[in-house]
Chain A
Amino acid sequence: MLESLIVSLLALPLIGAMVVFLIPSSSLQTLKQVAFGTSLFTFFLSLFLWILFDHSTSKFQFVQSFPWIYSSNIEISFGIDGISLFLILLTTFLIPLCILTSWESVKQHVKEYMICFLVLEALLIAVFSVLDLVLFYVFFEAVLIPMFLLIGVWGSRERKIYAAYMLFLYTLFGSLLMLIAILMIYFQTGTTDIQILMTTTFTDERQKLLWLAFFASFAVKIPMVPFHIWLPEAHVEAPTAGSVLLAGILLKLGGYGFLRFSLPLFPDASTYFTPLIFTMSVIAILYTSLTTLRQTDLKRIIAYSSVAHMNFVTIGIFSGNLQGIEGSLLLMLSHGIVSSALFLCIGVVYDRHKTRMLKYYSGLAQMMPLFGVIFLLFTMANISLPGTSSFVGEFLVLLGAFQSNTSVAFFATTGIILGAAYSLWLYNRVAFGNLKVQFIHEFSDVNRREFAVFVPFVFLTLLMGVYPEIFLDPMHVSVAHLLQQQQ
């Protein structure tokens, strides 16, 4: 029973997608209700993962395997540990909210939209729980198909096609390099099972090569700076719920990949390339924070700030100590919540005014007080104000970075100042000042459905900021084990 938990988590959205597929596309309400119901049920089911999770072991839990290809050693097996637990929870948490957000804003092809989200949910759960390198690659790539369609079909503007291509080709190119690396690993070890691979070692030369190939894939996803170009494009053109998923989960795929593969499989190469990662991350933090300051598109601002935050994550991952890695995991979670919520906020104003240009907005706090409060809260969380979720993560990351490299910590800390600069500047421009009635006339505050969407985010942001131990506790053993492997 326990073993089949992950498989049922995977199967549930797929069954839901099948049911949605069979419902006629004219009955919109039923479609939405079925999709929302399935994803909500999946979320509740996934909570059992957390409840039943054994905190005292670094082994993979809820493991279940099926034979796949007869002649090879590749098995379909699923299992989670402290690293992947919360990423799965984050996925199942965000999907119902995404569906709820697009309740009214999506008007065309509702059925296909819902199918896309449910399939995406199953794929993402699979990515975080699969224990085989080849299958990890399969699901990692498969996410592209629904994402491509989401941006292309339901995106808002002409540029969406360009954005969809960017997303697809950047990711594809990176991950095909990873595929060659996976094949090389298979030929050396004869297996792609992660649990067995953790016990094998590669020669120094080969480690470096393989590490770089994996890096090509994860650096695009997370994104490190020269490979981040796809991200602002994809974010800006995606529909609100698409951005939420992109920021909330897809960016975490890269971080998860580093933690799951790069660190334990190639420990020496990881140490060797740590300066590279640190340099790239610091550049990314400074560069994207400064870039954020001169953006005019609301979503682009949040997208660039996502890049900055994710590069804190990479610093944490490669800091080589417990605080750094746990901080980066927590920061991934917190960013998944905060930045998703910010994208939702922008979705709210976009739904009302159909523009995302900063210059048309001003003084919204006067007419939309509730929105003003919510937006303020998440802006503060984005600055990582103490008491909110991001603070804990960022603090731990900086702590970890300080232990391993002081100058990196110094430069990363300036990122916090810059983060405060662009966040406050953004909030100032949107919420305060005089109303620009010549551009925007109709104001209606956050409605009940939107408020219901925001409540869980607010709750989690504060919970994680005030009492992070419930999130950190399941991670301890797994992260400690990871570090042990690295030494």
Chain B
Amino acid sequence: MMSLFVNDFKYVLPEIFCLTAVLVLLVYGVIYSTSSQHGYPILSRNVVWLAVLSLFFTVLLILNQSYLEASIFHNTLIIDFFSQFAKLVILLSAIASLLLSLDYLRSQKINSFEYAILIVLSTLGMLLMVSSYDLISMYLALEFQSLCLYVLAALKRHSEFSTEAGLKYFILGAFSSGILLFGASLVYGFTGMTNLEDLGKLFAGLGYDHSIQSGAVLIGMLLVAVGLLFKVYAVPFHVWVPDVYEGSPTIVTAFFAMTPSLSVLAFFIRFFFSAFYDFLDYWQQMLLFCSIASLIVASLAALSQKKIKRLLAYSAIGHAGYMLIGFASGTPDGIQAMLLYSVVYIMMTLGMFAFILATREQFKGQQIKYISDLNILFKTNPILAFSVALILFSLAGIPPLAGFLSKLYIFFSAVKVSLYFVVVIGVVTSVIGTVYYLRLIQIMYFEKVKAYVTYQQMDRTKSLLLGISCFFILFFMAYPSPLIILTHKAALTLCL
């Protein structure tokens, strides 16, 4: 027991710091926001800044960890380059989504500082999820993260949409967690182990053994995968995504769009690569089915969307489909492509949500809801229109923008293992998908102005974030090596 404290806790220093900081913030928020002495101050923005600071320090702690690999707490958590990389991406995107929310909190008069606390807490859950090396720790981390997200989705209590979104998200999330738990218990029941490494050792070379045990384990694996596919917006399990995207407050949607799916994907990859790699034939089929279904459904459904957030929801589903192609290829190249894709996707989504959050009517402060409301943008704010067009072209995967290179890597990994069919589907759907991105551009640039809406000015943090995103999109192809090397290394640490 002594050695646990001596050795293991230093490995989770970032998480410990994050947890301590968020607890301090919670206490601080509760005490001061209810203090009559200070006139019941509204702490939401203040706490957001402090939360950004604590996440930033967590980033620094992770960057400065001196060891490369460790397996801690009796093999329930693992730390390697892959997890560190995923954690950094998650933390940075959480910071970005906190920064995006600053202006929104004030203008929408959301006075609950819990928003930032919940974001940090769910981020903490994601950090643990990424590191999980055991089905139990994974489930706990997943629930930790999801519970925060359910509350966040229902943040605006006076809005019907938001409460409905929270409810839907909760029910479906709890349902999927139940499925996942059932799968995990099947795996445990028929093997007697929950640790991924042990499972991997057990199944090594057993992939084609069709005994009853492995059949039951297979079902367990499928159910776990179904539970995880729920969380990464893959298609047969996607029904909640558009509603939650639309109903949740936009700052929360931005967070949903950028952060949680990466943590789930990170564990998902580890689950299949460490424990169930020998069942490749089975899960590859399943993932391919999901990715093809996601690509088709997303590209067709998005064509008929009128609301901008629903459109983005379907776009997220489509992009999840592309990521799953990389995953399904089952090679380090595929994982690299997937990681690259998710980083680029996060950058694009960041810009997109900075834009959506920024386009608010001058007087009412209402956010635009319908894509047809954008048609003035090229007239009133050409630079903003240009940046958004850039992001949209990149989402569609048009070179020479960042989205193209990531899509190229996905196709690359699939062609390498001769998954030509899925590549052709990917190509066809990406052409169809281009139509709805182009439609947004068409509305902004080409259409005659119907009503003159003036927008509030974008605040500085958002314009900075949008600028970063556009800069990245535009110039990523000029010097892609750093990110490619990082993702390559991360993929290799996981697969070798």
Contacts and interface: CB of A to CB of B under 8 A. Distances in A.
Interface residues of A, number: 35
A152 B375 CA distance: 13
A148 B484 CA distance: 30
Contact of B488 (A25, A71, A161): A71
A138 interface: yes
A106 B1 CA distance: 78
Interface in B394-414: 398-400, 404, 408, 411-412
Given A69-B481, A148-B438, A161-B446, A176 B404 contact: no
A153 interface: yes
Interface stretch (B34-42, B49-57, B166-174, B423-431): B423-431
B442 interface: yes
Contacts of B389: 149
Interface in B438-496: 438, 441-442, 445-447, 477, 480-481, 484-485, 488
A138 B430 contact: no
Contacts of A138: 399-400, 404, 477
A176 B407 CA distance: 11
Contact of B484 (A71, A160, A176, A184): A71
Contacts of B441: 148, 152
A121 to B, nearest CB: 15
B398 A179 contact: no
A443 interface: no
A75 to B, nearest CB: 12
Interface in B372-391: 378, 382, 386, 389
Contacts of B424: 180
Nearest to B447: A161
Given A145-B398, A169-B431, A169-B434, A180 B411 contact: yes
A138 B441 CA distance: 21
Contact of A153 (B404, B416, B446, B485): B446
A187 B331 CA distance: 15
Nearest to B430: A176
A390 to B, nearest CB: 34
Contacts, number: 87
Nearest to A172: B431
Contact of B393 (A145, A165, A187): A145
B26 interface: no
A137 interface: yes
B415 interface: yes
Contacts of B147: none
B427 A69 contact: no
B435 interface: yes
A169 B435 CA distance: 8
Given A71-B488, A169-B431, A176-B430, A184 B415 contact: yes
A312 to B, nearest CB: 30
B416 A187 contact: yes
Given A142-B398, A180-B427, A183-B411, A69 B484 contact: yes
A208 to B, nearest CB: 15
Interface in A150-200: 152-153, 160-161, 164-165, 168-169, 172-173, 176-177, 179-180, 183-184, 186-187
A117 B423 CA distance: 34
A149 B488 contact: no
Nearest to B488: A71
A208 B494 CA distance: 39
A141 B399 contact: yes
Contact of A70 (B420, B434, B477, B485): B485
Contacts of A160: 446
Contact of B481 (A70, A142, A168, A172): A70
A282 B389 CA distance: 41
Given A71-B488, A112-B382, A152 B445 contact: yes
A180 B399 contact: no
Contacts of B423: 180, 183
A53 interface: no
A179 B442 contact: no
Contact of B431 (A70, A149, A153, A173): A173
Contacts of B477: 138
Contacts of A68: 480-481
A87 to B, nearest CB: 20
Interface string A20-36: 00000100000000000
A395 B399 CA distance: 39
A137 B407 CA distance: 13
A149 B427 contact: no
B438 A183 contact: no
A183 B431 contact: no
A164 B446 contact: yes
A113 B424 CA distance: 36
Contacts of B415: 180, 183-184, 187
Nearest to A158: B448
A109 B484 contact: no
B439 to A, nearest CB: 9
Contacts of B484: 69-71
A180 B382 CA distance: 36
A168 B437 CA distance: 12
Contacts of B428: 173
A168 B438 contact: yes
Given A109-B382, A180-B427, A71 B446 contact: no
A149 B445 contact: yes
A235 to B, nearest CB: 17
Nearest to B477: A138
Nearest to A160: B446
B398 A177 contact: no
A101 B164 CA distance: 57
A141 B416 CA distance: 23
A199 to B, nearest CB: 23
A142 B393 CA distance: 10
A139 interface: yes
A5 interface: no
A47 interface: no
Interface centre among B424, B438, B447 (most CB of A within 10 A): B438
The 3 A-B pairs at the shortest CB distance, nearest first, are namely A138-B399, A70-B481, A176-B427
Interface of B: 378, 382, 386, 389, 393, 398-400, 404, 408, 411-412, 415-416, 420, 423-424, 427-428, 430-431, 434-435, 438, 441-442, 445-447, 477, 480-481, 484-485, 488
24 contacts: A69-B480, A71-B481, A71-B485, A71-B488, A109-B378, A109-B382, A112-B382, A138-B400, A138-B477, A142-B400, A144-B398, A145-B393, A149-B445, A152-B446, A165-B435, A165-B438, A169-B434, A172-B431, A173-B427, A176-B427, A179-B408, A180-B411, A180-B415, A183-B411
Given A71-B484, A165-B442, 17 more contacts: A69-B484, A71-B481, A138-B404, A141-B404, A142-B398, A142-B400, A144-B398, A153-B445, A164-B446, A169-B431, A173-B427, A173-B431, A176-B427, A180-B411, A183-B408, A183-B423, A186-B412
